[in-house]
A and B are shown apart, each in its own frame.
Chain A
């Protein structure tokens, strides 16, 4: 693959990667958010694949396939299943109120920061990421490291989602955006961390999502809602 094509494709994948994170802030339907997260996983796998092809490293291509399988299909599937379980649970409880509960549990009805302000914040966070990443790019200016601020921007946006969204599953997606951002940073900066670390990290993320999925069910069982803002029993 020649260099300019590689750069263009890499920038395209990184653009899609960032765009998916920003659109997560825009959408309120949890199902749509999960789909966007899956798309972002694909973009991440594409970044790893491009780097692998560019550097002729087969191990990176295998890692890219693994990342695609985990982040574009398995994790979205798990969250999707948790979402369906919440809806099914509620409709079994009170059959008549289906339409009402539908809007209640599967939508981010009232995020702490509204959509317009969220999008503006995302823009500000992206600028911040570019400012912070200047020394990182200057250390070794290649096409890949020039795209590195995108990874940091997604990390910041993930944090923002985690802090401002109230639905438990939206927070899980926020955590995963954060994690996607870090993985992208690792690929763009140094073509990924060593394989054993990458495996350990993926395993940890998978387990963390399983734990959070079970905890979501328990939050629902104990509080009757998955609105994390209602968790106010413990304070000083």
Chain B
């Protein structure tokens, strides 16, 4: 492939969503001065002022407006399609020719980049595919004005752009900037309802994540300092391949401090202890497609950053340092997640804690660090992203249907909405780690690698499996409670629209396909794991 084409493929995943965001921002109707818009604003403000669960009047939209809205909602699918296409083309190229960098090392593609791009693209496709149904529901409930819908689209596209930039850059400073940018653009998506709960969630989200990730920047600064002292030139001192190549020259004491800060900081964004408190709040308050994106890929994009730093740390300090650090954090996170899953009464929060459970499994796999563990971790990132995105999008539709997120008040989903109920149930089954979903294969891989590893990791793995079993029981009983039972009397079997369900079907199908055979992705997965174990 020519260098220009390669540069284009690397630039497009970050640039196209940004361009789409810009197009949305420019195309947004400027209706502010008109009387009608003013009235709409006023009623919107009144509705906001009234209590959250109040009954609202739905207005019948005009036909041409409806078609325009459909176009507007579906246009968001352009970016996931571009990300997926670029991801697969890059994957094909990288598997054959090895990693390549463009723009003097600013952007770089290796197998891990391609793998993460594919995961981001697939999950974004599910989330953006579910957005039209979600927005239609919000409009019907009178909670979405024209302006909030446009703002939603702009922010989602900017969010995708920031995540892709974090994946394709090789500069650790730019990586930090991109991950911090995801916090900023998602803040208003978390708090878009302006109710007390969502404002609270947004505040906690921004403060905890920004402060947490500031620690990661301090860590980055310390690594930069160590690299400069090791004689690496200014322009290359934050370049990941350079740092990996010269990691043995980094001062161990400074690197140790820096890596600890980085693990804490990016760990905050990946939902790991001790700065995990934002996660259940933000995931439960954000719109369903945003929860899907945040849980499905934002956590793993932050974790992929950690995986890259792990390579540097292992080369500079030996594997024991990150092993102890990551295994400890993983076990603590797993304990908290399992404990809170047992006490959970809200199904969106339940899914959020399940994300923490899965992220700690991935952290444990990173702690083990053998080739098997690393490829299992990467497969787990993909499987968890797909299954969790499906579960979150389904939970958003359940929330629209029943108007409550309390598990105790939802019964008989299978009787009322057989398709949606079945898809939600299957997604939970996937998250529980049953075959044929890919989480079965990856959890098995992580467990095998854990028991094969020396140095007490077998015991850690045994404890982790016990905790996973607790989480399993909690998740299974709650999901059964929601799915089974008689349908509520007032509204029996409702018509289900296929347009709302195809993204969910696709997500589960992809998750199943990955579980049965990785096919052409197998080479990519092996190479991505090789990128991470070179120490």
Contacts and interface: CB of A to CB of B under 8 A. Distances in A.
A221 B203 contact: no
Contact of B204 (A200, A204, A218, A231): A231
Contacts of A233: 196-197, 200
A197 B228 contact: no
Contacts of A228: 203
B214 interface: yes
A182 B200 contact: no
Interface string A61-84: 000000000000000000000000
B221 interface: yes
B203 A136 contact: no
Contacts of A193: 173, 220-221, 224, 238
A136 B171 CA distance: 23
A182 B197 contact: no
B256 to A, nearest CB: 8
A136 B257 contact: yes
Chain B contact-residue range equals 35 or more
Contacts of B207: 162, 171, 175, 212
A215 B281 contact: no
A139 B229 contact: yes
B187 interface: yes
A65 B211 CA distance: 25
B224 A211 contact: no
Interface residues of A, number: 44
A138 B225 CA distance: 12
Contact of A207 (B184, B221, B222, B349): B184
Contacts of B202: 215, 218
Contacts of A6: none
Contacts of A207: 181, 184
A215 B344 CA distance: 28
Contact of A234 (B224, B225, B237, B284): B284
Contacts of A139: 225-226, 229, 251, 253-254
B291 to A, nearest CB: 14
A140 interface: yes
A178 B216 CA distance: 12
Contacts of B183: 208
A197 B222 contact: no
A43 interface: no
A40 interface: no
A236 B342 CA distance: 11
Contacts of B229: 139-140
A185 B173 contact: no
A204 B184 contact: yes
B85 interface: no
A168 interface: yes
A162 B211 contact: yes
A133 to B, nearest CB: 9
Contacts of B194: 218, 221-222
A194 B203 contact: no
Interface string A203-236: 1100110011011001101110000100111101
A194 B238 contact: yes
Interface in B223-238: 224-226, 228-229, 234-235, 237-238
A208 B349 CA distance: 26
Contacts of A159: 211
Contact of B206 (A136, A186, A211): A211
21 contacts: A135-B257, A139-B225, A139-B253, A179-B214, A185-B218, A189-B221, A189-B222, A193-B220, A196-B171, A196-B174, A204-B180, A204-B184, A214-B188, A215-B202, A218-B199, A222-B196, A231-B199, A232-B200, A233-B200, A234-B280, A234-B285
Closest 7 CB pairs of A and B: A197-B173, A135-B253, A200-B177, A189-B225, A231-B200, A186-B221, A204-B180
Interface of B: 106, 171, 173-174, 176-177, 180-181, 183-184, 187-188, 191, 194-197, 199-204, 206-207, 210-211, 214, 217-218, 220-222, 224-226, 228-229, 234-235, 237-238, 251, 253-254, 257, 280-281, 284-285, 340, 343-344, 349
Interface of A: 132, 135-136, 138-140, 155, 159, 162, 168, 171, 175, 178-179, 182, 185-186, 189-190, 193-194, 196-197, 200-201, 203-204, 207-208, 211-212, 214-215, 218-219, 221-223, 228, 231-234, 236
